[in-house]
Amino acid sequence: MSQSKPTPNGRTPANSIEPSTEHAWGSLADTNHLAASVSSRHSHLNPVPHSSWEDHQHELKLFVPKEFSFKENLSYLQRSPNECLFHIRNDRIYRALPLGLGQDIVVIEVREAPHEQAVIVRFLGDFIPVEPSMRAEAAAYVRDWFDMNTDLVPFYEMAAVDPLLREAVQSFYGLRNMGIPDLFEALCWGILGQQINLTYAYTLKRRFVEAFGRRLECEGETYWIFPRPEEIAGLNVRDLSGLRMTVKKCEYLLDVAKLMADGALTKEKLLEAGGLKQAENMLIAIRGIGPWTANYVLMRCLRIPSAFPIDDVGLHNAIKHVLGMEKKPTKEEIRKLSASWVNWESYATFYLWRFLY
């Protein structure tokens, strides 16, 4: 069993880890969005402005905007009891997080600050990041995960007079587009979820993570780290057969892992593509990634506000529910209904999805 590397004071942490068998993006996108690379695993996380957080070494305080509801985001994260990358207990979220080059692993507790518009991130176990840059990376990850940096006021102003979105923003006020900051994880999740229901997608994800991810024990709990592309790229379809998914999906996962391990596919290259359509085209050129998966990844990982998985069955069902339609809307009907969502398509979709669970 390997352990996370000793801290600079020479003490080996108790957390034990072991491997298992008006811009082109849209006017709301910041040209510096996700612009600073803080690690190879979490490249392109925004550097966190000093005014948006406080570093207390053992814990971090992240200030959040008024249009932020920890309760709504927590409710979203509880949509599946089969989630394997984090636990939720007593209104607190626990997860393991690789920092730096992925050799240092921390376990964090995320909770709402009492009587303050803030979220507290506390480091558990013996491994407390000594370097301020690593604590800043943890802060940046959580801010990106919860999409704390997006100003939702313009979205709420638009949605308040939109017949499709009005009820959604009233019901789920403060909900954020909960992201998947790691590109490989986002792509794998998109592929795993193709043409199956959400329940089985979570089952496949758990099998994949527990077969090829890293396991961490901390304070009597087991945590899992999503596999890195380098750990998957050298495998073959036979190695993935135990996951009990289609051969095609196995091939798609391997193809993506190889592209990322070779550096041919990165967040940097997608962001530098020049616009939403160019980035979408880069992704759909990869075998197994169609428009739905591409837009899903651009929406959940790269935070492109105009990314729009218009073919999503869940979106169709949500629109049918909200409008009381007898049949699901056609794509042309959805285009007309979404005409006012310009540069908010991602958030509109995310809020409508929330009606489904």
Using alpha carbons only, give the angle 319, 341, 172 rounded to the nearest 5 degrees: 60
pLDDT-based confidence at residue 33 (cuts at 50, 70, 90): very low
pLDDT at 261 exceeding the cut of 80: yes
Superfamily of domain 35-149: DNA-3-methyladenine glycosylase AlkA, N-terminal domain (3.30.310.20)
Report yes or no: 61 and 118 within 8 Å, Cβ to Cβ: yes
Where do the structural domains in the chain lie, given as residue ranges? Answer: 35-149, 183-356
Work out the widest C-alpha separation in the chain, in whole angstroms: 66
Say how far apart CA 13 and CA 262 lie, in whole Å. Answer: 32
**What b/e sequence results for 255-277 when a residue is b if at least 16 CB atoms lie within 10 Å of its CB, and e otherwise?**
bbbbbbbeeebbbeebbebeebe
pTM of the model: 0.86
pLDDT digits (tens, 9 = 90+) for 268-296: 999 999 899 999 999 999 999 999 999 99
Domains 35-149 and 183-356 share a fold: no
CATH placement of domain 183-356: 1.10.340.30
The residues assigned a catalytic role are 312
Q: Tell me the pairing of strands 92-99 and 221-225.
A: unpaired
pLDDT digits (tens, 9 = 90+) for 76-112: 999 999 999 999 999 999 999 999 876 789 999 999 9
For the chain, the straight-line distance linking the first and the last C-alpha, in angstroms and rounded, comes to 39
195 bridge partner residues: none
Residue 195 region by backbone torsions, left for phi larger than 0, else alpha for psi between -120 and 50, else beta: left
In one letter, which amino acid is 344? Answer: W
